[in-house]
Chain A
Amino acid sequence: MGPRMESRAMHRRRDRLEWIAAAAALLLTACGGSGSTGLISAETALLAEVRESGRCLDANGTTYCLATQAESVDVGAPTDPPNNPEPCLDAECPPAAATPFTFDTADLPVDTTCAVAAREHGEAWSIGEAAEVGDGSSAFQAPPTFASESGSSEAALLCFDIPPEHGTFPATLEVLADAEPSIILVAPNP
């Protein structure tokens, strides 16, 4: 190989190396990383801590405890399946029915008034109708959405030693403690 040929080959090799280096540099500069950090609301953190530890916590002028499920739950007679049900594709099938969480109120005084609160994560709480716990056999059911949409909803039972005046509860709440309940029974994650 003559000196000119050799020089041309070296040039080609250098060009190729420069191209590879440029491509590598481009790849490197294109893969920077970023991210973000946030804080969940104080009450959401509190609820998570109660669920995780199982302990009762006093905060916001009330007590948060982990709810236990009532042992005997009358879920009613099963409905008969329709005759010759039509087959459905997965996407079309209705969601499988799940057993709603049932709060055990046996340890509460009989004249305690309670109401179920439920919400999709990040939204306001919807409050159900209030009722007295009675002799302990009554069980408050969390709404079906709580159990059927696993992981995206949560529920709690607000209980009052002295029910609010006129027996009325707000329809929605940003923070459970705003209703000033005596105790909040937090349902574990579905």
Chain B
Amino acid sequence: MPRKPAPDPATDRQRTIGDVFYETRVLMGRQYSLRRFADEILGGRLEPVMLSYIEKGERFPNEDLVRHLAAARKEDPQTLLAVLWRDRVLYAISRELDRAFDAEPAVAQNADGELAVRLSHAMAGLPDDESWVAYRTWRRGFRHGQKKKRRRTAAEEKALDDTVEATLTEHDLIQIRGGRVRRRSRHYQAETREERQAVAHQFAQLFAKGLLDRIALADSETGTYLRNHYLNIERERIPEFHAALENALRELTQRFATNPSETTDFMNVLATATPR
């Protein structure tokens, strides 16, 4: 049976540099404890406790350490460095976002944008033509293409899925009846503080990934398009421009949307049109 190729860390938005360290150690075998991995693979460059912090995402590794990890994985270090830089950019943006939202610890579960990411997958799992699909199939598809976070239990995953379903129902975006579900609308507008915070984090993740893809991985097949279009526009025509942009993006996404499978990627199109 052919093995499924390992995900490319540079193109896997969910995978942090800490995840890459953890994954590498685990894949090398059970015998590699934190101490042995730090000593033998990373050349004793850090204490086991610091490696533990890095794996949990509580500290960032330095670039020298990431180059050593890339050598152990027999990979181009630039790919892993791009993941590190993206994580650092995201961390800096997220810290400021949390200040702007005056974040409380209670919303930490949503703060990484996971809720917003899952909402997008849930909506994309429903046909644009509003036809019905099986409820159970739809629920399973919430996590399609997403890597399961190892720090989240099955109960926590289900709770997050339930939140996604409840949020979409409250916003009148879906209809569930007799074991089937269909979409009623297509645009999710984050309203409460928690929803807005989750969506803001998702936008930040998307921007950080897109930017770093083009800066650090210009020669890689990242699948990222990044371009700034500009113009002078009469101020009073800005709302008209926004509406036209919305229509164009809606038409484009509906034209290319297909069912998720092994040969598809989940594409996010983050658009901002802002006057200076």
Contacts and interface: CB of A to CB of B under 8 A. Distances in A.
A33 B189 CA distance: 17
A33 B126 contact: yes
B127 interface: yes
Interface string B166-193: 0000000000000000010011111111
Interface string B121-149: 00111111101000000000000000000
A37 B259 contact: no
Contact of B124 (A30, A35, A48, A49): A35
A81 to B, nearest CB: 39
A168 interface: no
A45 interface: yes
Contacts of B186: 34-36
B189 A40 contact: yes
Contact of B120 (A29, A35, A45, A48): A35
A31 interface: yes
B128 A37 contact: no
Interface string A34-65: 11111110000100110000000000000000
B196 interface: yes
B229 to A, nearest CB: 19
Contact of A45 (B127, B196, B259): B196
Contact of B259 (A31, A35, A48): A31
B230 to A, nearest CB: 22
B220 interface: no
B253 interface: yes
B109 interface: no
Interface string B191-207: 11100100110110000
Given A29-B258, A33-B127, A33-B128, A39 B187 contact: no
A45 B193 contact: yes
Contacts of A49: 192-193
Interface string A4-41: 00000000000000000000000011111111111110
Contact of B129 (A31, A38, A39, A45): A31
A40 B190 contact: yes
Interface residues of B, number: 33
Contact of B257 (A34, A38, A40, A45): A34
Contacts of A39: 189-190, 196, 199-200, 203
Contacts of B183: 33, 35
A26 to B, nearest CB: 12
A48 B191 CA distance: 8
A30 B190 CA distance: 29
A37 B121 CA distance: 11
B17 interface: no
Interface size range of chain A in the complex: 10 to 19
Most A-side CB within 10 Å, residue of B127, B129, B203, B256: B127
A153 B119 CA distance: 28
B250 interface: yes
A45 B200 CA distance: 13
A175 to B, nearest CB: 15
Most B-side CB within 10 Å, residue of A29, A36, A49: A36
Most B-side CB within 10 Å, residue of A28, A30, A34, A49: A34
B254 A34 contact: yes
Interface string B235-276: 000000000000001100110111100000000000000000
A30 to B, nearest CB: 8
Given A34-B124, A37-B190, 11 more contacts: A32-B127, A32-B128, A32-B256, A33-B257, A35-B124, A36-B250, A37-B120, A37-B188, A37-B189, A39-B196, A45-B192
Interface of B: 116, 119-120, 123-129, 131, 183, 186-193, 196, 199-200, 202-203, 249-250, 253-254, 256-259
Which 10 A-B pairs rank lowest in CB-CB distance, beginning with the nearest? A32-B257, A35-B123, A31-B127, A32-B258, A34-B253, A34-B257, A33-B124, A35-B186, A33-B126, A36-B187
